[in-house]
């Protein structure tokens, strides 16, 4: 005999009767749901949906960032190869002096990258005071104009190196000419705009999206898409682009200079003016 007020299903009169439409998840279903939320697919969905909540000014930041990295990745891919092929007039597939010239050029290119890293490290110490003095917008635009000049200079250096080739391959290997010195200096100079590219865009994004929905973390993730997509474009298209002009690295570098010029111009025209006094440095991931 059941106590008064108790139904057959075990609920009393005061207990809320469960709604038949409520679905109780099993532990297995809950684990699957949690694993999806933590998986790479959910991260991508969150990145794409967060783009709807970004402030309008972020559109110009994403565009400048993409163009900037379209100008950087050809250099990252072909820097030492350019030294070996174009500056030292070597050939990695040949034998004898041609192969020796190529390897000598690659060694000099590696030394240039060492100087590039040193300049990058030193320059990073001055980015914050420079941005407080000139503004992050102007600093970022200046870095793109420097990349434009340097990438365009590779065509001039390659032309001069070709004119020296008539002196013989031994001369190209054993002598330090103005062309070789200019190439190493170019590698070193690129460390300054690279330090800016690794820091300023992320600081600008953090400041613009401080009050935006989705948080600054997702906004930085969206900004990283402006790095990854140009990387895939350059990786897939640089080879066919160079082959279209007969090979070599100069066509990719010249196109990179065009992208850098476009990035600088758009940065001057479209990037928002941010307070110089509130600038806070941020560091992105390096690709060099």
Q: What is the pLDDT of residues 201-214, one digit of tens each?
A: 998 888 887 765 55
pLDDT for 235 equals 92
Could you give the percent of the chain with pLDDT greater than 70? 70
Q: Which bin fits 208, alpha (ψ -120 to 50), beta or left (φ > 0)?
A: alpha
**pTM for this one?**
0.78
In the predicted structure, residue 55 carries a pLDDT above the cut 60: yes
Name the DSSP letter for residue 84.
I
Q: Note whether residue 120 is domain-resident.
A: yes
pLDDT, residue 177, reads: 74
6 SS3 class? strand
pLDDT tens-digit series, residues 159-213 = 888 877 666 555 556 555 788 899 999 999 999 999 999 999 998 888 887 765 5
CA-CA distance, 168 to 156, in Å (whole number)? 20
The answer as to whether 198 is a domain residue is: yes
Q: What are phi and psi of 57, to 5 degrees?
A: -65, -20
Distance CA 241, CA 255 (A): 9
Closest to 162 measured CA to CA, from 153, 150, 152, 172: 172
| Domain-embedded: residue 191 | yes
Instruction: Check whether 2 has a pLDDT greater than 90.
Output: no
Q: What pLDDT score was predicted for residue 56?
A: 80
8 A C-beta contact, residue 202 and residue 42: no
**What per-residue confidence (pLDDT) applies to 245?**
84
Please indicate, yes or no, if residue 1 is contained in any of the structural domains: no
Asked, for residue 68, whether it belongs to a domain, the answer is yes
Mean pLDDT across the chain: 81
Is 266 domain-assigned?
A: yes
- Residues 13-23: what's their mean pLDDT? 49
The domain tally of the chain equals 1
Q: Please report the DSSP string for 209-226 in residue order.
A: TTTSTTHHHHHHHHHHHH
pLDDT of residue 255: 95
| Residue range of the domain that includes 100 | 57-270
**What's the rounded Cα separation, in Å, for the pair 87 and 245?**
18
Q: What is the CATH number of the domain that holds 83?
A: 1.20.1250.20
- Pair 268, 141: CB distance under 8 Å: yes
In a domain, 280, yes or no: no
- What is the length of the chain? 288
Dump pLDDT digits (tens) for 112-151.
999 999 999 999 999 999 999 998 999 999 999 999 999 9
pLDDT at position 36: 44
């Amino acid at each position: 005999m059941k106590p008064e007020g108790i139904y057959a299903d075990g609920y009393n009169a005061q207990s809320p009767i469960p709604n038949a439409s409520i679905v109780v998840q099993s532990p297995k279903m809950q684990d699957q749901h949690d694993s999806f939320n933590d998986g790479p697919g959910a991260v991508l969905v969150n990145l794409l949906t967060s783009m709807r909540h970004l402030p309008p000014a972020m559109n110009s930041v994403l565009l400048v960032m993409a163009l900037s990295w379209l100008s950087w990745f050809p250099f990252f891919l072909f820097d030492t190869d350019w030294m070996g092929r174009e500056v030292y007039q070597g050939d990695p597939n040949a034998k004898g002096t041609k192969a020796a010239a190529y390897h000598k050029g690659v060694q000099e290119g590696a030394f240039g990258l060492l100087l590039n890293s040193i300049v990058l490290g030193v320059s990073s110490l001055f980015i914050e005071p420079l941005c407080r003095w000139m503004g992050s917008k102007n600093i970022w635009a200046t870095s793109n104009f420097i990349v434009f000049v340097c990438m365009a200079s590779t065509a001039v250096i390659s032309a001069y190196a070709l004119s020296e080739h008539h002196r013989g391959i031994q001369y190209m290997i054993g002598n330090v000419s103005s062309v070789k010195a200019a190439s190493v200096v170019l590698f070193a100079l690129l460390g300054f705009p690279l330090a800016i590219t690794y820091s300023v865009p992320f600081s600008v994004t953090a400041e613009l999206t401080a009050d935006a929905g989705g948080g600054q973390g997702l906004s930085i993730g969206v900004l990283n898409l402006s790095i990854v997509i140009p990387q895939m474009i350059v990786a897939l298209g640089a080879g066919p682009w160079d082959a279209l002009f007969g090979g070599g690295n100069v066509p990719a570098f010249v196109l990179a200079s065009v992208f850098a010029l476009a990035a600088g111009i758009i940065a001057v025209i479209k990037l928002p003016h941010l307070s110089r006094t509130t600038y806070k440095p941020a560091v992105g991931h390096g690709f060099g």
